[in-house]
């Protein structure tokens, strides 16, 4: 039996909107999930059911209302729901990657440096980080003339691929993927499928949301179906 | 990593009948950037001034991890000891560069002065260091001998930052470091600060009312209101899932683009 690298127990999440009459919106209710190293689980369910919220609860940008989320090898796993901010920052540097389709633009920083940054933070030297980033950008079909430019003027698709390059540049032992292939053309979609398969082979535990059935069938080992909760006052 | 670089406990400060801050406790760890956010009058600057030894609190302790003796309350130190700390291990970047610069000294001398204050007497080394740091803050070196009064706000701010970093501090306090600048200058300066802080592994406390600045620079955030901390946590957690009514109001007021 394989040990799980991501382990979620009894996770619930609701939002309380204090400035809108104190209304409470439940999003996740008692979710249990285990993901082993080298395994890719795909979250499915209708739009608005809380798929992205689940990923954000694992990454730590959403606070869980109840339950626990352990990430890491069982002996040293960190419970995200109780961890100090600096422990989460550290986990994100070394262990847990998160890829969305949206690039958060830092003014003036060239595309290649955005991709290099996670490597630089891990102490990879400048030349090696640059070389690996160049390979990744080329693999995602970003023309070389764009590498030294800041992506604020790039097309949506180019920005998305810069973000993918940044997300896959470090071989994280755990990866959260929020629709990384949305709105990519067929060729680039295949590149991303290849990146996900490589991550699995490298032993990464992956939780992903993919609307594209083709991608899902290509990478998923299992599916987790989230059910509608409904809104309670 | 197993000891904070600064540990603040139950800080309280009032100005006569006027509330400054109370019940302020937090730790900062080496290499960590903390943003203190809140509207004008929320007590952010009081916290910054008390934790940087510029203002004595009414109660509470501010302990700093000294290089030799471990954590020491900065207000139990002797005045010279505290002054030495402020000139070497710490930096303080004011919102208005005029408050942090010697306006009648050249850009180069402003940086050299901080080195001389800690005993450096080798003039060619001082000049080399000044040039190096002005280069790192992307300052036009041809103007190294000009007076700050002849610089734009953005250039003055670069000189102030270089002056603070030349002694290789471990902890830098910043009060709205990009507050008074044009938006275009602000973006460049923020990017530069982000790179410097990360390359040098600095711990920093940044007071700002701008949540975008916090998102770009800080790992962690403290939200203040009426002199008290109402929420603290990971920066993107507070921005994506604020818990306190006041943080929710602040976050929902950010202009989306």
Residue B16, burial from CB neighbour count under 10 angstroms (0-12, 13-18, 19+): exposed
Per-residue pLDDT tens over the stretch B118-175: 888 888 999 999 999 999 888 889 999 999 999 999 899 999 999 999 998 999 999 9
A84 domain-assigned = yes
Cut 0.95: pTM above it: no
CB atoms within 10 A of CB A121: 14
Q: How far is A214 from chain B (nearest CA, A)?
A: 31
CATH of the domain at A214: 3.40.50.300
A24 domain-assigned = yes
The pLDDT of residue A70? 97
* Contacts of residue B119, Cβ cutoff 8 Å, sequence gap at least 6: none
Per-residue pLDDT tens over the stretch A24-70: 999 999 999 999 999 999 999 888 889 999 999 999 999 999 999 99
A191 domain-assigned = yes
A112 domain-assigned = no
A165 domain-assigned = no
Chain A residue numbers with beta carbons less than 8 Å from the beta carbon of B240 are 56, 61-62
Characterize the bridge pairing of strands A4-17 and A66-71: antiparallel
Pick B191's closest partner by Cβ from A62, A63, A109.
A109
A114 domain-assigned = no
Task: Map residue B186 onto helix, strand or coil.
Answer: helix
Q: Indicate yes or no: CB of A85 within 8 angstroms of CB of B190.
A: no
Among A127-141, A178-192, B202-216, name the most confident range: A127-141
**Closest residue in chain B to residue A18, using alpha carbons only:** B245
* Cβ–Cβ contact A15 with B under 8 A: yes
Expressed as residue numbers, the domain containing A77 is 4-95+172-225
Looking at the structure of chain A, the number of domains it has is: 1
* Cβ–Cβ contact A60 with B under 8 A: yes
What tokens appear for A224 in the block? 């987790």
C-alpha closest to that of B32 among A89, A172, A179: A89
Per-residue pLDDT tens over the stretch A100-148: 878 876 777 899 999 999 999 899 999 999 999 999 999 999 999 999 9
What pairs with residue B231 in β-bridges?
Answer: B223
A73 domain-assigned = yes
A53 domain-assigned = yes
Q: Indicate yes or no: CB of A61 within 8 angstroms of CB of B216.
A: no
């Amino acid at each position: 039996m394989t040990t799980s690298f991501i382990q979620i127990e009894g996770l619930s999440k609701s939002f309380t909107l204090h400035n809108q009459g104190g209304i409470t919106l439940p999003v996740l209710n008692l979710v249990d999930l285990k993901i082993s190293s080298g395994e890719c689980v795909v979250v499915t369910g209708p739009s608005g059911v809380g798929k992205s919220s689940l990923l954000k609860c694992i990454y730590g940008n959403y606070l869980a209302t109840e339950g626990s989320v352990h990430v890491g090898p069982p002996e040293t796993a960190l419970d995200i729901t109780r961890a100090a901010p600096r422990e989460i920052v550290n986990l994100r540097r070394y262990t847990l990657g998160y890829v969305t389709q949206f690039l958060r633009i830092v003014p003036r920083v060239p595309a290649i440096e955005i991709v290099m940054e996670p490597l630089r933070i891990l102490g990879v030297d400048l030349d090696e980080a640059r070389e690996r980033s160049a390979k990744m950008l080329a693999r995602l079909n970003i023309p070389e003339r764009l590498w030294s430019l800041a992506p604020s003027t790039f097309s949506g698709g180019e920005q998305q691929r810069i973000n993918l390059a940044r997300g896959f540049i470090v071989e994280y032992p755990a990866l959260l993927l929020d629709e990384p292939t949305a709105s990519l053309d067929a060729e680039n979609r295949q590149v991303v499928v290849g990146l996900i398969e490589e991550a699995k082979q490298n032993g990464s535990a992956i939780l992903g949301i993919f609307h594209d059935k083709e991608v899902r069938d290509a990478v998923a080992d299992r599916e987790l179906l989230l059910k509608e909760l409904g809104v309670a006052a | 990593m197993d000891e904070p670089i600064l540990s603040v406990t139950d800080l309280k400060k009032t100005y006569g009948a006027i509330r400054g801050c109370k019940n302020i406790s937090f730790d900062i760890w080496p290499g960590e950037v903390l943003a203190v956010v809140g509207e004008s009058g929320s007590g952010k600057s009081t916290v910054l001034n008390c934790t940087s030894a510029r203002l004595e609190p009414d109660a509470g302790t501010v302990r700093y991890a000294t290089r030799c003796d471990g954590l020491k309350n900065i207000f139990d130190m002797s005045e010279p000891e505290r002054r030495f700390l402020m000139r070497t291990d710490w930096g303080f970047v004011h919102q208005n560069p005029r408050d942090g610069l010697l306006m009648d000294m050249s850009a180069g001398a402003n940086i050299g002065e901080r080195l001389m204050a800690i005993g450096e007497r080798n003039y060619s080394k001082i000049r080399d260091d000044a040039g190096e740091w002005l280069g790192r803050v992307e300052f036009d070196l041809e103007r190294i001998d000009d007076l700050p009064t002849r610089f734009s706000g953005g250039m003055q701010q670069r000189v102030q930052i270089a002056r603070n970093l030349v002694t290789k501090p471990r902890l830098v306090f910043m009060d709205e470091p990009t507050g008074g600048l044009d938006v275009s200058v602000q973006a460049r300066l923020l990017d530069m600060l982000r790179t410097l802080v990360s390359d040098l592994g600095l711990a920093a406390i940044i007071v700002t009312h701008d949540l975008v600045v916090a998102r770009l620079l800080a790992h962690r955030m403290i939200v203040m209101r009426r002199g008290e901390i109402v929420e603290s946590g990971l920066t993107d957690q507070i921005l994506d899932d604020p818990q306190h009514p006041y943080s929710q109001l602040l976050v929902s007021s950010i202009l989306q683009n």
